[in-house]
């Protein structure tokens, strides 16, 4: 099988991100040498587990489990660190597929996030061309199979440093389910699991190697449900009150709203219910919406305007509106100091060189 660097990477380069995270931990841990030799030791610790981490990533890819249902993926990652001496608490914050794994004692307490959930409609073989797999239609479009395994590798490497005495403090690996719309981290934070943590680190697979302080889009999510009155669409359409018409007006209003929103606004939706037969006026319809913007306050204000559109659609169609607010995710708040350290370590450790064959394949 020919491997895509963006999807799986070359054998030598596949540890690049976990090395960078490990090096960052050395830099922020008091008592650590913090020099290239120490970081090279961490690189060796990751490289020595390359087969283990690669196998874990492939399994999580193959399982491709939905958010809050990542039973096998969560169990695998937790068991790997547990077998290397981490204490593991499973099912934290009342979430069955979450876990917190800890190694070391005292401060500083540095957390690493691990994600492992998949997305619907994106089933895919591990090849760089479109090739859906048989079975459930879920897949790792965002590379969370690498995310979870890479974070495990970083945590294990830092634990080696703690074990040898080169690093003092505690490393914690947070297994965070349902990143793709579920927002499990918010529930874990609400449960106080991050209260004593000094810094939280994460990474994400992508098509370029970099380290810095990028932010992301805040998100607000809601479902809009309309209830009307069914009727035969041919015999007595005047008796019906179409819930689907209300969704159609909502969607059209959202399209008009886009022109009057700030740059970088994103409004996404799907119709999750809209009737079963074309000759029956639908009595129930539902639309599922995301509103995104780099600033959570702006995302909230746009959502408030979308609610006005939804209410107008209900008035126009004489239907009843129910709104299920599904929560929001704050935009990432960059830490400039940690970003500078991570970028410096990344440049010192990563010297990517591509073969002529790889360059030709990329072109």
Considering its fold, how many domains does the chain have in total? Answer: 2
Distance CA 30, CA 316 (A): 64
To the nearest whole number, what is the mean pLDDT of the chain? 87
Domain coverage including residue 278: 218-329
Determine, yes or no, domain membership for 7.
Answer: no
Instruction: Verify that 76 and 222 share a domain, yes or no.
Output: no
Tens of pLDDT, residues 320-347: 999 999 988 888 888 888 888 888 887 7
Instruction: Verify that 202 and 308 share a domain, yes or no.
Output: no
* Burial track 108-139 (b if 16+ CB lie within 10 A, e otherwise): bbbbbbbbbbbbeeebbebebeeeeeeeeebb
The model carries a pTM of: 0.76
Instruction: Verify that 76 and 198 share a domain, yes or no.
Output: yes
Instruction: Verify that 204 and 178 share a domain, yes or no.
Output: yes
Determine, yes or no, domain membership for 2.
Answer: no
CATH number of domain containing 287: 3.30.70.360
Q: Among candidates 151, 78, 145, 82, which has minimal Cα distance to 113? A: 151
Tens of pLDDT, residues 212-267: 777 789 999 999 999 999 999 999 999 999 999 999 999 999 999 999 999 999 99
Instruction: Verify that 223 and 192 share a domain, yes or no.
Output: no
Determine, yes or no, domain membership for 162.
Answer: yes
Determine, yes or no, domain membership for 5.
Answer: no
CATH number of domain containing 49: 3.40.630.10
């Amino acid at each position: 099988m020919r491997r895509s660097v963006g999807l799986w990477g070359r054998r030598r380069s596949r540890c690049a991100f976990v090395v960078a995270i490990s090096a960052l931990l050395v830099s922020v841990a008091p008592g650590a040498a913090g020099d290239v030799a120490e970081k090279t030791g961490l690189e060796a610790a990751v490289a020595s587990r390359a087969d283990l981490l690669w196998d874990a990533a492939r399994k999580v890819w193959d399982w491709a489990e939905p958010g809050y249902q990542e039973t096998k993926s969560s169990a695998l990652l937790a068991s790997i660190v547990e077998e290397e001496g981490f204490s593991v608490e499973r099912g934290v914050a009342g979430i069955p597929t979450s876990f917190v794994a800890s190694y070391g004692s005292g401060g500083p307490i540095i957390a690493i996030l691990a994600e492992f959930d998949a997305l619907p409609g994106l089933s895919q073989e591990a090849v760089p061309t479109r090739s859906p797999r048989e079975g459930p239609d879920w897949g790792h479009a965002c590379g969370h199979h690498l995310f979870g395994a890479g974070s495990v590798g970083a945590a294990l490497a830092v634990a080696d440093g703690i074990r040898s005495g080169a690093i003092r403090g505690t490393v914690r690996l947070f297994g965070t389910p349902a990143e793709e719309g579920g927002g499990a981290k918010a529930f874990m934070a609400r449960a106080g699991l991050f209260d004593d943590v000094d810094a939280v680190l994460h990474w994400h697979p992508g098509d370029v190697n970099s380290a810095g302080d990028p932010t992301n889009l805040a998100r607000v999510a809601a479902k809009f449900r309309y209830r009307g009155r069914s009727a035969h669409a041919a015999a007595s359409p005047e008796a019906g009150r179409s819930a689907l018409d209300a969704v159609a007006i909502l969607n059209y209003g959202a399209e008009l709203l886009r022109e009057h929103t700030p740059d970088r606004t994103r409004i996404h939706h799907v119709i999750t219910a809209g009737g079963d037969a074309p000759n029956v006026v639908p009595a129930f319809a539902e639309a599922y919406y995301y509103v995104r913007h780099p600033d959570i306050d702006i995302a909230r204000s746009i959502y408030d305007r979308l609610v006005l559109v939804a209410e107008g659609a209900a008035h126009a169609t004489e239907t009843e509106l129910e709104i299920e607010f599904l929560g929001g995710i704050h935009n990432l708040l960059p830490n400039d100091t940690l970003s500078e350290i991570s970028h410096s370590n990344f440049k010192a450790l990563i010297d990517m060189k591509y073969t002529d064959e790889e360059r030709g394949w990329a072109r």
